[in-house]
Amino acid sequence: MTEVLVIANQTIAGQKLLDAVRERAARGDTHFQLVVPLTKPSAGLVIYDEAVRDAAQVRVDLAISVLGAEGIDAEGEVGDEDPFSATLDAVQHRRPDEIIVSTKPAESSGWLRRDLIERIHTATGIPVTHIVTDIDREELPFFITLVVANRTSSGEELVEYLKAKAAHGKEHLFIGVVPQQSVHGHAAVEARERLAAMLDRLQKAGLVAAGMIGDPDPYVATVNALELFRVTDVVISTLPNERSGWLRSDVLGRVKRATRVPVEHVVVSTDAAAAAAS
């Protein structure tokens, strides 16, 4: 069996990388190991290490889901924040026949400024294929929707709304963000439980989804996610007006002013939210 190691982070959803993987998979008897090194945004708000790790895991999960749906044999993991170390760690674990490294263009790639491609080839002696994707200019092969919700995260209205979005156009991926309800320790556990329930409902509905928990401030959680991911649009789900603290603090309007991508609002009734949580 041919082993191919793929190293990518923000460009993992690029069309060129997907085409390269498909082309090699078509040869038959090929296994792919995906490694997503931890990478903090170069600018913007302060992003905590846990959020950076969660974002990398989201990329791994979505990539494996997309490839698995096409019958491509792949597994993945989050790697060291140094892409060179992440690559060598993976090579020691399962020595590949080829290494594919996907980066942004030279003028915006921190990896290339560290001569990553040459260093990997010199250190391993394995053929290295370099794929360049300008994620800010090139069209992605998927629609990617950021879904921000907490108490309504598994509500029927939200699930049906997302199913309708996925029914039109090219393949659709969903990134869920569940903000914590407080800064106390139990809040993170509760948010992860809600996230797991949300992803379970979306996946059972046939949607490709992964997600992470976010800052207790839903505005900060959303803007942080927009720093970490390139998305097509944002869906924010809340309780009805009189029950929603998010609406009272104008989260929807503030997010709209903070981004150029469309921001949509889905209201989940109190009864539906309670039923989903039970």
Instruction: Let me know whether 116 and 162 are in one domain.
Output: no
Contacts of 136 (CB under 8 A, 6+ apart): 108, 230
Residue where one domain finishes, among candidates 132, 156, 173: 132
User: Is 102 in the same domain as 201?
Assistant: no
- According to DSSP, residue 236 is labeled E
Task: Indicate if the alpha-carbon torsion angle 143, 148, 149, 150 is positive or negative.
Answer: positive
Are residues 109 and 175 both part of a single domain?
no
Asked if 235 and 162 count as a contact pair (C-beta separation under 8 A), the reply is yes
Among candidate residues 95, 112, 132, the one where a domain is terminated: 132
Predicted confidence at residue 118, as pLDDT, reads 95
Compute the half-sphere exposure of residue 24: CA atoms within 13 Å on the CB side of its CA: 23
**19 and 81: one domain?**
yes
Answer whether residue 138 is part of any domain: no
Q: What angle do CA 7, 204, 225 make, to 5 degrees?
A: 45
Half-sphere CA count of 255, side-chain side, radius 13 A: 30
Residue that is written with structure tokens 């921001």 in the block: 263
| Residue 94 pLDDT | 86
Q: Which residues contact 29 (CB under 8 A, 6 or more apart)?
A: 1, 2
Strands (E), 23-125: 30-37, 74-79, 98-103
The C-alpha atoms of residue 160 and residue 273 are separated, in whole angstroms, by 13
User: Strand pairing partners for 180?
Assistant: none
- Looking at the structure, tell me whether residues 196 and 119 fall in a common domain: no
Task: Look at residue 206 and tell me if it is in a domain.
Answer: yes
First-to-last C-alpha distance (Å) of the chain: 47
Range of the domain at 27: 2-132
What pLDDT does 278 receive? 46
- Predicted local confidence at residue 200, as pLDDT: 97
Looking up residue 107, the CATH number of its domain turns out to be 3.40.50.620
Is the distance from CB of 263 to CB of 234 less than 8 angstroms? yes
- Count of alpha carbons within 13 angstroms of residue 220, beta-carbon side: 13
CA separation for the pair 109, 85 (Å, rounded): 17
Q: Where are the alpha helices (DSSP H) in 125-184?
A: 156-166
Q: What length does the chain have?
A: 278
Does residue 98 lie in a domain region?
A: yes
Q: What is the pLDDT of residue 270?
A: 74
In a shared domain, residues 82 and 152: no
Asked if residue 148 and residue 128 are part of one domain, the reply reads: no
Q: Are residues 108 and 169 in the same domain?
A: no
**Residues 108, 159: one domain?**
no
263 domain residue, yes or no: yes
pLDDT in tens, the chain (278 residues): 999 999 999 899 999 999 999 999 999 999 999 999 997 765 555 566 788 899 999 999 999 999 999 999 999 999 999 999 999 999 998 899 999 999 999 888 888 888 999 999 999 999 999 999 998 888 889 999 999 999 999 999 999 999 999 998 789 999 999 999 987 778 889 999 999 999 999 999 999 999 999 999 999 999 999 989 999 999 999 999 877 899 999 999 999 999 999 999 999 987 655 555 54
- 147 lies in the same domain as 123: no
Torsion angles phi and psi, residue 55, rounded to 5:
-65, -40
